[in-house]
Amino acid sequence: MISDKMQKELNEQVNKEFYSAYMYLAMSAYCNTIGLPGFAHWMRLQYEEENMHVTRMYDYILNQGGEIHLKAIEEPPTEYGTPIEVFEQTLEHEQFITKSIHKLMSLAVQETDYATQTFLQWYVTEQVEEEANVNDILLPLRMVGEDKSGLMLIDQQLSGRAAPTPPPEN
């Protein structure tokens, strides 16, 4: 059983994860529009991964006897600038999500809610991976800048991203 406060905060995180999915879908559409299908593919798979994060958290709340309170999801931007700016915004967003997950973990520790601590540990680890993946893309993007041949090479590499695997059951 989770506390009312934890239930409220987890529901807020569900909304943030839904926004993440929307943002990545919007970024995918934008990358398609500017002629970078590999970037669009990467973002589309990120959208799918975020949906899995939402479902996992949704299921956890219900499995702990909590209630789901879905809120409106903010509309993401439709334009993101250069490919470097797209991934800089991605990193900034992932860092925001990391802070939010850490805040949830702190609450779980404060409440001595061991089940939620164990549940959230997967998200803590996932966020380390998310930020590292984005940084791994940003490094070569910064090297090539606006060089078209470099961007096309990175686009080709991003098109090879495999579909995300579902997270473990709660």
Mean pLDDT of the chain: 97
The domain containing residue 107 runs over which residues? 4-158
Mean pLDDT computed over 53-77: 97
pLDDT tens-digit profile of 47-59?
999 999 999 999 9
Q: Does residue 35 form part of some domain?
A: yes
The number of folded domains in the chain is: 1
pLDDT given for residue 54 in this prediction: 97
pLDDT at 167 over 90: no
Q: What does pTM read for this prediction?
A: 0.95
Q: Does residue 166 form part of some domain?
A: no
Q: Does residue 169 form part of some domain?
A: no
Q: Does residue 52 form part of some domain?
A: yes
Q: Does residue 54 form part of some domain?
A: yes
Which among 160, 163, 151 is positioned nearest to 36, based on CA atoms?
151
Q: Does residue 123 form part of some domain?
A: yes
- Whole-angstrom Cα distance, residue 114 to residue 107? 11
What's the CATH code of the domain at 43?
1.20.1260.10
